[in-house]
Amino acid sequence: MGTPIRAASVVPAPRAVVFDIGNVLYGWDIRALYAKLIPDPARLEWFCSHVVTAEWHFQHDRGRPSSETVAELSTQYPAEAGLIAHYVPRWLETITGPVPGMIELAHELADAGVPLYGITNFADEFWHRFRPTAPVFDRFEDIIVSGAEKLFKPEPEIYRLARRRFSLAAGEGLFVDDRLENVRAGVAQGFPGHHFTNAASLRTRLLAEGLLPR
C-alpha cells in the first residue's frame, strides 16, 4: 500500500495533485532499450550496471547536455562506444508505457476539476521529445522539469519553486512520488505526500482526501 505522509503542522486539505512522472505516470527503464541490443542477459546486466546506468543518466536530469556526457562515457568505455551511441537517439525506447491505471486516474481528476501539476527529474532535451507523445499532460496546469530549472529532487529548492509557481499554500498540493526520499522532502516544504506504489492505493488516498467523487 502507498503510505500517506503529512507534516504535523499542515492542516488544509489538498485541492490539487502534484505528480512525479517517471515510474508514477510512465514507466522508465534503461534495460528496455538495451535488451533489444544486447541478447546475452549477463552482459546486459553488466552494461546497465556499469556503463549506461541510472546514476549516469541522472546527470541529464540535473541539466548536463548529452553531448558532454556521452563523449565522456565513450572515452571511459571505448569498447562500448557503439552501444553508448544508441542511448540519445533511441532514448524514447527507455519509456515502457503508462503505469497501469494512472493515465485514467489523471483524467478522472481533471474531469473532477482538480488542478494537476508535475515536479519531475527529467532531462530538458529528453522532455521535449517525450512530451508530444503523452497528451495527458495537456490537462496539467504546469510541470516543473528539473533539467530546465537546474534543480533536482529531493533538493528543497525545487519544491519551493513549485509552491511559488503553482500558487499553492502549504497543504494544498498532494505530492505523489515513487521515491520515499522525494516525498519526505516535499512534506518538509509543505506538500502532503503519498509514496506511490500503484494506482489502486493512490485512488484510495484520493478518495479519502475528497479529491475524487465517491
Q: Which residues, 6+ apart, have CB-to-CB distance to 9 below 8 Å?
A: 170
Distances (CA, A) of 159 to 55, 66, 148, 185, 191: 22, 25, 14, 8, 8
Report whether pLDDT(159) > 90. Answer: yes
- Taking residues 17-45, report their average pLDDT: 98
Question: What is the CB neighbour count within 10 angstroms for residue 76?
Answer: 12
pLDDT in tens, 47-106: 999 999 999 999 999 999 999 999 999 999 999 999 999 999 999 999 999 999 999 999
What does the DSSP assignment read for 17-60?
EEE--BTTTEEE-HHHHHTTT---HHHHHHHHHHTS-HHHHHHH
Whole-model pTM: value is 0.91
pLDDT at residue number 10: 45
Mean pLDDT of 144-163: 98
